[in-house]
């Protein structure tokens, strides 16, 4: 007999955003420079934006009505530290107001300290590839922790270092727009690993009671033809590049094994890998507007892979790009069913943060991709909750999925 599928007491329900994708008017960073130089396919982040920088109160009240009890967002480094070593008091106060408002709305704040955008001064000194990059970023980390740590519920040091390095140094879709620069990729990953490990120690010193982790993107790769040994080798090899970061003489280590109090999992897609050509998604897999193949069970596969680490796991991002919200409704029902099953099978999953609250700036794809539970009319700034948002509200309120 089917029964209601309840989630554990205290489970976190929320959405995730990143500052450059929602705030608007963010011009002192590498992404803005990249957009102005024609690096992206459609529009730019200011064209016009979701204006969350000024509308955060109204946006948080909407999420409160959707029964979100947590919110993941990032603090913009280029606003807080516009020039190296110079911190902007007004911007720090702005983020204090943001955090205070979240608290007033009953939402735990999960703060990301680097979500793809970096200040121009940092970029012009070589960005994450340059020596000294971790130290440069740590000054910001310390400042934010010291000034705002009392209002932070969880720290997420970095967002998706693997995707950041891969898209910036291999495919060229992200700044600095390099292609095929494998040496650059490994330097970036090594610096980010170092930055994360040191940020972990600093954050534990300054805010000892606040859990620290990072958000890792798990992109599943499968051999297109499982009987073809070349496809199998290729899938393993690509997986290796996307999942590991270099660790001195001890060789590459899985990013999820980084020093952390919890594991943050971002999962969106899987790809079939073939010796005849990469990412040949076959017709039987559901596709998003991005052309990404999605299968709700893959989230459970990822979660179960993390169980042996013995740490609490948070789904720090999961969602799908689609203009057809009925697909998102189905996706949410299915994917949350998989999260529930993973918990039933003993994985310590403590929260699900949907990507994303409102339709926003999807990096190289501008505003063309719709991931939100809330639609935003960029001209009028009107926000409208979609049916998927209503579904999320009912599930979060009940802390349960209806019987299947
Ligand atoms: O929009 C991004 C986000 O910034 C990082 N994770 C993947 C999302 C969808 O592409």
Cis before 322 (ω within 30): no
Choosing from 17, 355, 360, 367 the residue with most ligand 1 atoms within 8 A of its CB, the one to mutate for a pocket test is 355
**pLDDT at res. 155:** 98
DSSP-assigned letter for residue 185: H
How would you class 310 by CB atoms within 10 Å of its CB: exposed for 0-12, middle for 13-18, buried for 19 or more? Answer: exposed
**Cα distance between residue 26 and residue 20, in whole Å:** 7
pLDDT digits (tens, 9 = 90+) for 58-105: 999 999 999 999 999 999 999 999 999 999 999 999 999 999 999 999
318 C-alpha to center of ligand 1: Å?
A: 9
**Cα distance between residue 272 and residue 309, in whole Å:** 27
CA angle at 367 for the pair 363 and 371, rounded to the nearest 5°: 85
Residue 298 lies in a domain: no
73 C-alpha to center of ligand 1: Å?
A: 12
Q: Residue 316: what are its φ and ψ, rounded to 5°?
A: -85, -15
Nearest CA to ligand 1 atom 1: 362
Q: How confident is the model at residue 159 (pLDDT cuts 50, 70, 90)?
A: very high
**pLDDT at res. 290:** 87
Question: Can you give 338-395 as a three-state secondary structure string?
Answer: HHHHHHHCCCCEEEEEEECCECCCCHHHCCCCCCCCEEECCCCCCEEECHHHHHHHHH
Q: Where are the beta strands (DSSP E) in 123-207?
A: 154-159
Residue 34 lies in a domain: yes
Q: How confident is the model at residue 194 (pLDDT cuts 50, 70, 90)?
A: very high
Residue 302 lies in a domain: no
Residue 286 lies in a domain: no
Residue 234 lies in a domain: no
**pLDDT at res. 244:** 84
Residue 178 lies in a domain: yes
**pLDDT at res. 1:** 53
Residue 255 lies in a domain: no
DSSP-assigned letter for residue 179: B
**Is 13:395 a contact under the CB 8 Å cutoff?**
yes
pTM over 0.85: yes
Instruction: Determine the structural domain holding residue 126 and report its residue range.
Output: 5-212+308-396
**How many domains is the chain partitioned into structurally?**
1
Residue 176 lies in a domain: yes
Please report how many Cα atoms fall inside a 13 Å half-sphere around the Cα of residue 355, on the Cβ side: 22
Please indicate whether residue 222 or residue 179 has the higher confidence score (pLDDT): 179
pLDDT digits (tens, 9 = 90+) for 288-303: 998 888 899 999 999 9
**pLDDT at res. 284:** 53
175 C-alpha to center of ligand 1: Å?
A: 15
Instruction: Identify any residues that bridge with 277 across adjacent strands, giving them in sequence order.
Output: 274
Q: Is the pLDDT of residue 54 over 60?
A: yes
Q: What is the CATH number of the domain that holds 137?
A: 3.20.20.80
**Cα distance between residue 247 and residue 230, in whole Å:** 28
């Amino acid at each position: 007999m089917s029964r209601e599928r309840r989630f554990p007491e205290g489970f976190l329900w929320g959405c995730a955003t990143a500052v450059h994708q929602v705030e608007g008017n963010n011009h002192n960073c590498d992404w803005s420079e990249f957009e102005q130089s024609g690096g992206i396919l459609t529009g730019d982040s200011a064209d016009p934006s979701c204006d969350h920088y000024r509308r955060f109160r109204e946006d948080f009240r909407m999420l409160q009505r959707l029964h979100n009890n947590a919110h993941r967002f990032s603090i913009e480094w280029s606003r807080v530290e516009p020039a190296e070593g110079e911190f902007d008091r007004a911007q720090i106060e702005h983020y204090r107001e943001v955090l205070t408002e979240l608290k007033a709305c009953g939402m735990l704040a999960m703060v990301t300290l680097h979500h793809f955008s970096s200040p121009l001064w940092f970029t012009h000194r070589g960005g994450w590839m340059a020596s000294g990059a971790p130290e440069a970023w740590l000054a910001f980390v310390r400042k934010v922790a010291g000034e705002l740590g009392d209002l932070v519920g969880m720290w997420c040091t970095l967002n998706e270092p693997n995707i950041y390095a891969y898209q910036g140094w291999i495919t060229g879709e992200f700044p600095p727009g390099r292609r095929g620069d494998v040496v650059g990729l490994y330097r970036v990953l090594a610096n980010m690993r170092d930055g994360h490990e040191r940020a972990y120690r600093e954050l534990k010193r300054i805010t000892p009671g606040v859990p620290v982790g990072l958000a890792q993107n798990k992109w599943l790769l499968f051999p297109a033809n499982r009987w073809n040994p070349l496809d199998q080798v290729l899938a393993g090899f690509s997986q290796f590049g996307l999942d590991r970061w270099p660790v001195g003489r001890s060789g590459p280590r899985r990013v999820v094994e980084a020093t952390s109090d919890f594991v943050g999992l971002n999962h969106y897609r899987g790809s079939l890998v073939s010796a005849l050509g990469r990412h040949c998604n076959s017709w039987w897999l559901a596709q998003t507007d991005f052309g990404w193949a999605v299968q709700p069970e893959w989230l459970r596969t990822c979660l179960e892979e993390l169980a042996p680490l013995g740490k609490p796991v948070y789904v720090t991002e999961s969602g799908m790009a689609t203009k057809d919200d009925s697909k998102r409704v189905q996706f949410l029902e299915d994917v949350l069913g998989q999260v529930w099953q993973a918990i039933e099978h003993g994985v310590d999953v403590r929260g699900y943060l949907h990507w994303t609250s409102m339709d926003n700036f999807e990096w190289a794809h501008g505003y063309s991709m719709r991931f939100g539970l809330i639609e935003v009319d960029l001209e009028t700034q009107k926000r409208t909750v979609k049916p998927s948002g209503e579904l999320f509200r009912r599930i979060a309120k009940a802390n349960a999925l209806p019987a299947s």
